[in-house]
Amino acid sequence: MEKKSDPQHLDVLAFARDAGHLQGEGALADWPRLAEEQHGDTLAAGAVLWQLTGRTLTPSGGADQIWLDLRASVRLPMQCQRCLTPVLDTVEAERSFRFVADEATAAALDDETEEDILVISRDFDALALVEDELILSLPLVPLHEVCPQAVPMSAVDPAFEEAAERPNPFGVLAGLKTGKPG
């Protein structure tokens, strides 16, 4: 496979200069660090969907900049922190990275810009970056919008007491059966 079109061995410079675009999907199991975040086995995780776009940016009076735009999403079962049962949450990541020539440039820029800076590579694993970004995008406190099981109501609930006091219809039936025939 040509390097500039293999997301795990991406030639970042060529990809950006060609305004390259790649997208794909894969099973969660192929991203083991992300897969570790799933909870329970009652809900199935969705596929990991990802998109990569390369571009160059020429600031006025500056040299060409190399950028990579990343988007990714996955439906992941996590543990609801309210009811502790699994909740299927859509985790989405979207971030742009600027690539610079070397570590020294990256370190210098890191202090003066909010941009996410990475060092350029001709053999860059963009799918590992997808995994990193999805892990960073996980909700801190996963919650159902509405939890499936209501918290059990205690006996102070009048409806609950009423139900408890009502004679069991099967008990009534049993009483009729054992009653002496009229």
Question: Strand order in 65-79's β-sheet?
Answer: 21-26, 48-57, 65-79, 86-100, 116-119
Of 151 and 156, CB closest to Zn ion: 151
Stretch that binds Zn ion, among 8-16, 26-34, 82-90, 150-158 (CB under 5 A): 82-90
Contact set for Zn ion, span 114-153 (CB under 5 A): 144, 147
Q: Which amino acid is residue 129, in one-letter code?
A: L
Give me the residues paired with residue 66 across strands.
56, 99
Instruction: Rule CB under 5 A: choose which of 43, 49, 83, 119 binds Zn ion.
Output: 83
Integer Cα distance of 66 and 124 in angstroms: 14
Of 14 and 143, CB closest to Zn ion: 143
- 39 makes contact with Zn ion (CB under 5 A): no
Q: Which residues bind Zn ion (CB under 5 A)?
A: 80, 82-83, 144, 147
